[in-house]
């Protein structure tokens, strides 16, 4: 994408994608040509998204021209552009580090699969887990990371390891060529600039609620 989309708009894009995807899924059974011809209005999108129609029109204007005068947007073009903005035109291969409770649950993520993320490997150091399968995905020995990462074309690593080993594991997976990290540990990772880290700190979310219930926010 050469065109610059504002950060705020970009952050709303996954919601657009999810709404369009849902409309698409709900119309399963219709002829494919249906979605190709479908026009979706800003009001319809606004209703599905909970954003104002003005917001929707402004957001979509940033993406390009999909308008059909007085009617709405071309569904298929809009969907394809948003998909591209979000990097969802590709299939992404995901490895989960730590095959414990949380790692196992993530290996079952049907939603991830539907969006184009495929879990192709789990890694652990626990000999009782290595070799097992979780939702048909094999648990590999962490020591074999380099060879497995290449064979399985892993793009994204999910960290569900103990806090103390998070940085070490991150260093190893970056060295093996993985460029994206989804970090479920509370450790603040230090990574090179070309590595994308998204932190998922569940405790912080819970504190966010208590904070608001206690009336600070």
> From CA 141, how far away is CA 122, in angstroms rounded?
9
Shortest Å, Cβ 148 to its own copies: 19
Distinct helix (H) and strand (E) counts, the chain: 10, 10
Task: Kindly write out the interface string for residues 122-151 of this chain, putting x where it contacts its own copies by CB under 8 A and - elsewhere.
Answer: ------------------------------
Task: Examine residue 69 and tell whether it contacts its own copies (CB under 8 A).
Answer: no
Closest separation between CB of residue 68 and its own copies, Å?
Answer: 25
Give the binding range for its own copies (CB under 8 A) out of 33-41, 67-75, 169-177, 204-212: 204-212
Q: Rule CB under 8 A: say whether 71 interacts with its own copies.
A: no
Q: Which residue has the tokens 């994308």?
A: 196
Binding mask 81-120 for its own copies (x = CB under 8 A): ---xxxxxxx-x-x------xx-xxx-xx-xx--xxx---
Comparing CB distances to its own copies, the nearer of 7 and 31 is: 7
What the block records as the tokens of 39 is: 């026009």
The string of DSSP codes covering 115-170 is HTEEEEEEEES-TTTTT-EETTEEEEEGGGHHHHHHHTT--EEEE-S-GGGHHHHH
139 CB burial (10 A radius; 0-12, 13-18, 19+): buried
CB of 131 to its own copies, least distance (A): 22
- In contact, 148 and 164? CB cutoff 8 Å: no
Residues that bind its own copies (CB under 8 A): 1, 5, 7, 10, 13-15, 17-18, 49-50, 84-90, 92, 94, 101-102, 104-106, 108-109, 111-112, 115-117, 155-156, 179-182, 186, 188, 196, 198, 200-217
């Amino acid at each position: 994408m050469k065109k610059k989309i504002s950060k705020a708009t970009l952050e709303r894009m996954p919601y657009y994608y999810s709404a369009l995807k849902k409309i698409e899924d709900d119309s399963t059974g219709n002829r494919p040509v249906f979605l190709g011809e479908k026009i979706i209005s800003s009001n319809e999108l606004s209703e599905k998204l909970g954003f104002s129609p003005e917001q929707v029109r402004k957001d979509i204007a940033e993406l390009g021209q999909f308008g059909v005068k007085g009617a709405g947007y071309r569904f298929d073009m809009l969907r394809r552009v948003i998909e591209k903005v979000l990097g969802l035109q590709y299939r992404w291969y995901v490895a989960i580090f730590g095959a414990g409770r949380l790692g196992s649950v993530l290996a079952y993520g049907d939603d991830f699969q539907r969006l184009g993320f495929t879990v192709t490997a789990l890694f652990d150091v626990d000999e009782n887990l290595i070799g097992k399968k979780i939702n048909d995905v094999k648990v590999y020995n962490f020591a074999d990371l380099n060879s497995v990462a290449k064979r399985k074309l892993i793009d994204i690593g999910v960290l569900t390891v103990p806090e103390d080993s998070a940085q070490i594991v991150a260093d190893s997976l970056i060295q093996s060529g993985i460029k994206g990290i989804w970090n479920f540990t509370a450790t603040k990772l230090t990574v090179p600039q070309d590595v994308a880290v998204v932190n998922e700190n569940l405790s912080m979310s819970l504190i966010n609620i208590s904070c608001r219930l206690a009336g600070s926010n």
